[in-house]
Structure 1
Amino acid sequence: MSQPAPVREGTRAVFGNGTAHSRDQHSCLAAAYDPVTLPRLAAAGVGPGWHCLEVGAGGGSIARWLAGRVAPGGSVLATDLDPRDLTPGPRLEVAALDVARDPMPEAAYDLVVARLVLQHLPTRDAVLHKLVRALKPGGLLQIDELDASYEPPLLTPDAEAEALYVRFLRAKTDALRAAGGDPHWGRKVPAALRAAGLTAIDVHLHIGVRHAQDPGLGLQLNHTRNLRDRLTEQGMSQEDLDRVGRLMRDPSFRAASSVLYSVQGRRPGRGRS
Structure 2
Amino acid sequence: MARTGAPEAPQATGAVGYAFAPHATHSAEHHRWVAETWDPVTLPRLAATGVTRGWRCLDVGTGSGGLARWLAERVGPTGEVIATDLREPTAPPTEGVRYLTHDIANDPLPEGKFDLIVARLVLQHLPSRQAVLTRLAGALRPGGWLQIDEFDTSYEPPLLTPDAAAERLYRKFLAAKSTALRAAGGHPGWGREVAAAMRNAGLVAIDPRPLVELRDAASASLRLQEHHTRHLRSRLLAAGMTDEELAAVRELMRDPSFLACSSVLYSVQGRRPTTHPTTEGSA
TM-score range, shorter chain: over 0.9
- CA gap of 1:29–1:41, structure 2 versus 1, over 3 A, is same
Whether 1:137 and 2:142 are equivalent positions in the alignment is yes
Counterpart for residue 211 of structure 1: 216
What displacement does 1:16 show?
Answer: 2.7
Q: TM-score, normalised by structure 2?
A: 0.92
Counterpart for residue 158 of structure 2: 153
**What CA distance in whole angstroms lies between the structure 2 residues aligned with 1:8 and 1:177?**
22
Counterpart for residue 27 of structure 2: 22
Whether 1:122 and 2:123 are equivalent positions in the alignment is no
Q: Deviations for 1:120-154, whole angstroms, at most 9, x for unmatched residues?
A: 00000110011011111111000000001110001
Fraction of identical pairs, as percent: 56
Q: Deviations for 1:181-213, whole angstroms, at most 9, x for unmatched residues?
A: 111100000011011000001111110000111
What displacement does 1:9 show?
Answer: 4.7
Considering only aligned residues, what root-mean-square deviation do their CA atoms show, in Å?
1.6
**What CA distance in whole angstroms lies between the structure 2 residues aligned with 1:88 and 1:168?**
38
- CA gap of 1:199–1:6, structure 2 versus 1, over 3 A, is closer
Q: Given that residues 51 and 75 in structure 1 are in contact (C-alpha distance below 8 angstroms), is that contact kept between their aligned partners in structure 2?
A: yes
Q: Which letter maps to 1:136?
A: R
Whether 1:201 and 2:203 are equivalent positions in the alignment is no
Q: Which letter maps to 2:68?
A: A
Q: Given that residues 53 and 112 in structure 1 are in contact (C-alpha distance below 8 angstroms), is that contact kept between their aligned partners in structure 2?
A: yes
Q: Which letter maps to 1:2?
A: R
Q: Which letter maps to 2:87?
A: D
SS in structure 2 of the partner of residue 127 of structure 1: helix
Whether 1:59 and 2:60 are equivalent positions in the alignment is no
Whether 1:222 and 2:223 are equivalent positions in the alignment is no
Q: Given that residues 2 and 95 in structure 1 are in contact (C-alpha distance below 8 angstroms), is that contact kept between their aligned partners in structure 2?
A: yes
Whether 1:164 and 2:164 are equivalent positions in the alignment is no
Q: Which letter maps to 1:214?
A: S
SS in structure 2 of the partner of residue 84 of structure 1: coil
What displacement does 1:52 show?
Answer: 0.3
**What CA distance in whole angstroms lies between the structure 1 residues aligned with 2:15 and 2:54?**
37
Q: Given that residues 209 and 268 in structure 2 are in contact (C-alpha distance below 8 angstroms), is that contact kept between their aligned partners in structure 1?
A: yes
**What CA distance in whole angstroms lies between the structure 1 residues aligned with 2:200 and 2:72?**
30
Q: 1:112 aligns with which of 117, 120, 125?
A: 117
**What CA distance in whole angstroms lies between the structure 2 residues aligned with 1:7 and 1:210?**
36
Counterpart for residue 2 of structure 1: 3
- CA gap of 1:242–1:3, structure 2 versus 1, over 3 A, is farther
Whether 1:239 and 2:249 are equivalent positions in the alignment is no
What displacement does 1:39 show?
Answer: 0.2
**What CA distance in whole angstroms lies between the structure 1 residues aligned with 2:16 and 2:136?**
17
Structure 2, unaligned stretches of length 5 or more? 276-283
Q: Which letter maps to 1:13?
A: Y
**What CA distance in whole angstroms lies between the structure 2 residues aligned with 1:126 and 1:94?**
23
Structure 1, unaligned stretches of length 5 or more? none
What displacement does 1:83 show?
Answer: 3.4
Q: Deviations for 1:33-71, whole angstroms, at most 9, x for unmatched residues?
A: 000000001111111111000111111111111111111
Q: Deviations for 1:57-102, whole angstroms, at most 9, x for unmatched residues?
A: 1111111111111114111111111233223311101111111111
